[in-house]
Amino acid sequence: MSARTIPTIVLGGTGYVAGELLRLIAGHPNLKLAAVMSDSQPGEAMGKAFPHLAAVLGDTTFKSQAEIEALLRTEKVPAILAAAPHGVSAALIDGLLKVAESAGNAPRVVDISADFRHADPAVYESIYKHAHGAPARLPQFTCAVPEHLKTLTTPHVAHPGCFATTTLLATVPLIALGIAEPALFVSAVTGSTGSGRKPTEGTHHPTRHSDLYAYNVLAHRHTQEVVACTAAASGTVPQLAFVPHSGPFARGIHATVQGVLKKKLDSKTIIGLLREFYAHSPFVRVLDSAPRVKDIAASNYAHLSAVSDGRTVAVMSVADNLNKGAAGGAVQWMNRLQGLPETAGLTAPAAGWT
């Protein structure tokens, strides 16, 4: 492992995903925390927002946007991990890149918001109901799951959403390998942390505890992400019917992707094809039995399995929404952008019994 130290800025500092980024950076052999931006809590101790990280954060405080800009003018910071909200991230990143570029620096950015996931600003506007904050920057970003793109041709990356990441791990091989017809049905359940830190009716514990319910049925905003990323990775535009559910747990996503087989294949054969497809993907394991959320929660690993009845196929995919589906996937991309081993700082196993 290279001993090179890479100063790293984190944006959107008080949210769950930012907290996960800080946890991963604390254990990373190369990424070193340079500053964390929070417009809502500048000057506040980060350990107050994230008590579970207080031992590693010490007396470090959140910085304002002006302080981040000053840092970029005076120091070379090669890495920016952005966990700012949708609709805020694009303009913020654009402004910070302009400051860095004016100082002769060229940081690499991984954005975890939705702001750079769609190449066409009109598509973004149709989904999120507001104009894009930095349309001129869109050609500089690629949106993909790391396992599905061998060569990156842009300086920056937009990480797909957590539902999208978990689902794409199943849809891409089904279509790319010609296993299933390109009309897929997805039923997926997410933990409450996927809705962010601010309590809402859908995440408030008394409402969500011991309950399971669907929402945004056939209208979830990640649907178009999955379609676009599957098409880019497989060469075929699929039809996708997506039904998301809120689950009574904090971390993890379980997605079941069903389709009609192009030819008769048994479960063992399909599992073998999936294993071959992900043979060089250290964070994806293909199992003989149904995957479980507890076996991947709080890790950057994803587990898949498949069942066939000879006519239809069901691929089960589980991943952690805060880690593999957000912060971990972003660090995985940053490792590649910085020329580091893709696994750097990400190999810790799941916590178990969460």
Where in the sequence numbering do the catalytic residues fall?
Answer: 162
Strand-by-strand arrangement of the 284-286 sheet: 213-214, 239-246, 183-190, 253-260, 312-319, 302-308, 284-286
Q: What is the DSSP string of 149-177?
A: -S---SSEEEPPPHHHHHHHHHHHHHHHT
> Are 47 and 80 a contacting pair, CB within 8 Å?
no
Alpha carbon 242 to chain centroid, angstroms: 18
Give the DSSP letter of residue 299.
S
Of the CA atoms within 13 Å of residue 110, those in its CB half-sphere come to 30
Element (H, E) at 239: strand 239-246
> Are 70 and 114 a contacting pair, CB within 8 Å?
no
Strands (E), 102-224: 108-111, 141-143, 156-158, 183-190, 213-214
Give the span between the Cα atoms of 206 and 214, in whole angstroms: 17
Give the span between the Cα atoms of 196 and 178, in whole angstroms: 36
3-state secondary structure of 287: coil
